Structure 1
Amino acid sequence: MARARNDPAQYDDLAGQWWHPRGPFAMLHWLAAARGALVPPPAREGAVLVDLGCGAGLLAPHVRGYRHIGVDLTASALAQAARHGVVAVRGDVSAVPLADGCADVVAAGEILEHVPDLPAVVGEACRLLRPGGLLVIDTIAATALGRFVAVTLAERVPGGAPPGIHDPALFVDREELVRECARHGVALRLRGIRPSVPGLVRWLARRGESVAMVPVPTTAVLFQGVGRRG
């Protein structure tokens, strides 16, 4: 069935593909590993990580030691996340059904480019953080280059985005993101990332199971953000 761009029902259509390392969500695995690398080991017993837009729990193998709570709207994805040790909470990331200051870490990976109200979601992510808590994000920049790479190109190559999964009108204004985080007491630092070219060549040749994400000097396509709540 043809669906509108960014229709959440697409995740039900693709429910059986989440954990296939060569399926349509392959790059989400690579990004989850890169996101997890930004999360330090828990500093206290019972530390909580809230994973906004957790999908099927792809971050779980990369963040050991936390009580990992995943928030998502898609029930079929949450069922898979729960099988990977994630405490599944069905909810909207713009109105998260969790208490203020409950999280040592909030991860928002590949979700901000899907939401119509960026300030609301950023406000929720920051609200969940304890003082000193860490916010980790990755998303797609609202630039002509970002639209070309993430939609025009990525929807046509192996390992790229499933066709129609993104609406480029929702890609993230970097200045707005940093400003909204600062408004809530989080000084966010950004850096660009992309797949390693040698790793991607090996993966395409079926000589590797994953591809490392590496830093780049520009944030104009894919970028990560890290900041602590003051």
Structure 2
Amino acid sequence: MRILVVEDEVKMAGLLKRGLEEEGYAVDLHRTGQDGVWAAAENPYDAIVLDVMLPDVDGFEVCRQIRAGGHWAPVLMLTARTAVADRVAGLDAGADDYLTKPFSFSELLARLRALVRRGAGERPAVLRTGDLALDPASRRVTRGGVAIELTAKELALLELFMRRPGEVLSRSRIIEHVWDFGYDGVSNVVDVYVRYLREKIDRPFRRDTIETVRGSGYRLRDERFP
């Protein structure tokens, strides 16, 4: 069994790696969120142990990126925070279980064994708004049953919108989620890619799905309900 551990605290990381290896697991250890995302994309893990507090991006975002990439190894999140809201955030991000620090290593092992027995998660639900559909597993987009070809960035942008229908998303927030770099207030990359998306998902179908909210950003028209 191969386990990915994403934990930046040196002592905890060492204890996890040594303890899991003593139990017979092969362990890959990474100390940053982005390294964890990369590793999950490159290797077929049986389970992932993911800390919430990481030096670059938090564990919630790491989990979202792993799931968005179509990787469904079960995720056990670790955190020192006990708030229910944090637990809910982890589960909403795609985690399968949640363990609060401090914890006993025997409990972590028991939870990992349960996750490994359960195996990879179920195929995620198709995202829909009106007749526009995006399948996160196959990365397929259709409108009214017609397939639409999107680039990787266009797809990531559309998925961000479709996971937050009706919500105004600022340019800085979009850049952080899709491009993962700081917004300098000058780059027009968001506007360019929104235009690309409109040319593919709206214009051929005479629709206006992505709305410009002047001075604020963009919003996907919520067509889930009449």
Q: TM-score range by the shorter chain?
A: 0.3 to 0.5
Which protein is richer in helix relative to its size? 2
Q: Name which one, 1 or 2, has greater alpha-carbon Rg.
A: 2
Instruction: Report which structure shows greater RCO (CA 8 Å, sep ≥6).
Output: 1
